[in-house]
Amino acid sequence: MATPQFIKKLSRNSAARAAASLLASLLVRLVWLTGRWRVIRAPGFEPYWNSTKPFILCFWHGRLMMLPCSWARAQPINILISGHPDGRFGADTITRLGIKTLAGSTSRGGFGALRNLVRMLKNGDCVGIAPDGPRGPRMRASMGAIALARLSGAPLVPLTYSCSRRRVINSWDRFVLAWPFSSGVIMWGDPLEVPGDADSAALETLRLELEERMNILTAEADRLCGHGPIDPAPKGAEAEGTEAVS
């Protein structure tokens, strides 16, 4: 399913986009403040959370909404957001919530973005990316995240959320829109290391491992909130607009 037309229109009108991103940021704050949220961190991630070691936060595109509220650290983080219409709107919203953003993509002609992310990680900052962004296939990891980890030496850390009161948007990413007064969970997975000397076969194995870990974590978050899992796009599916939408 393509980006909704109203989002595309917002991206072309700076005043409308500013107003909409303000409302969206207020909704995120309302959901967070009125909800009962539980944070679960995998044992292997605790040493990173309790230190200043940089890492690559990995989240599915459809689980972006509550990401800013999960970052309770003084250490800076930069979230990679695409330059597509929904990306510009999302970047404005996230910025209002105190998170830095960087425009670009690691999977579609994104050498410049990849280089900037590596530099940030080498300087000690954390970065965040959606391995299935900016256009899918849904919940299928691209090689961009693996390349970033190999070049920077920083581990990949899965992050997801779910909540009891929500609406799943009929978009390519099945965006999870959280409602106020929910009970919810934010889950951090174990870090995944990517050796700098890994060959192409090893990199593909690690890509599949990242994808599996993120999907298992997301399904568990949904289960804890009383929902069934959202299925990934079929294997071999193409980008947005080419897969079947239920």
Q: What is the DSSP letter of 238?
A: -
The bridge status of strand 77-81 relative to strand 100-103 is parallel
Domain annotation for the chain: domains and CATH numbers: 5-224 (3.40.1130)
242: pLDDT confidence band, cut at 50, 70 and 90?
very low
Q: With 90 as the cut, is the pLDDT of residue 169 above it?
A: yes
Cα(175)–Cα(62) distance, integer angstroms: 4
Q: With 60 as the cut, is the pLDDT of residue 6 above it?
A: no
Kindly state the average pLDDT of the residues 178-189.
98
Establish whether the linkage from the previous residue to 180 is cis, with ω within 30° of 0: no
Q: Give burial (CB, 10 Å; 0-12/13-18/19+) of 245.
A: exposed
- Higher-confidence position of 83 and 245: 83
Q: With 90 as the cut, is the pLDDT of residue 229 above it?
A: yes
Q: Is the pTM of this model over 0.85?
A: yes
- Higher-confidence position of 188 and 90: 188
Give 38-85 as a DSSP string: EEEE-GGGHHHHTS----EEE--GGG-TTHHHH---SS-EEEEE-SSH
241: pLDDT confidence band, cut at 50, 70 and 90?
very low
By percentage, how much of the chain surpasses pLDDT 70? 89
pLDDT in tens, 101-129: 988 776 555 677 889 999 999 999 999 99
The confidence score (pLDDT) of residue 208 equals: 98
- Contact in structure between 126 and 167 (CB atoms under 8 Å): no
Q: Compute the mean pLDDT over every residue in the chain, rounded to the nearest whole number.
A: 89
By percentage, how much of the chain surpasses pLDDT 90? 70
The confidence score (pLDDT) of residue 48 equals: 87
User: Which residues on adjacent β-strands are paired with residue 177?
Assistant: 167
The confidence score (pLDDT) of residue 111 equals: 72
Cα(81)–Cα(62) distance, integer angstroms: 13
83: pLDDT confidence band, cut at 50, 70 and 90?
confident
The confidence score (pLDDT) of residue 13 equals: 74
- Higher-confidence position of 174 and 18: 174
- Higher-confidence position of 245 and 51: 51
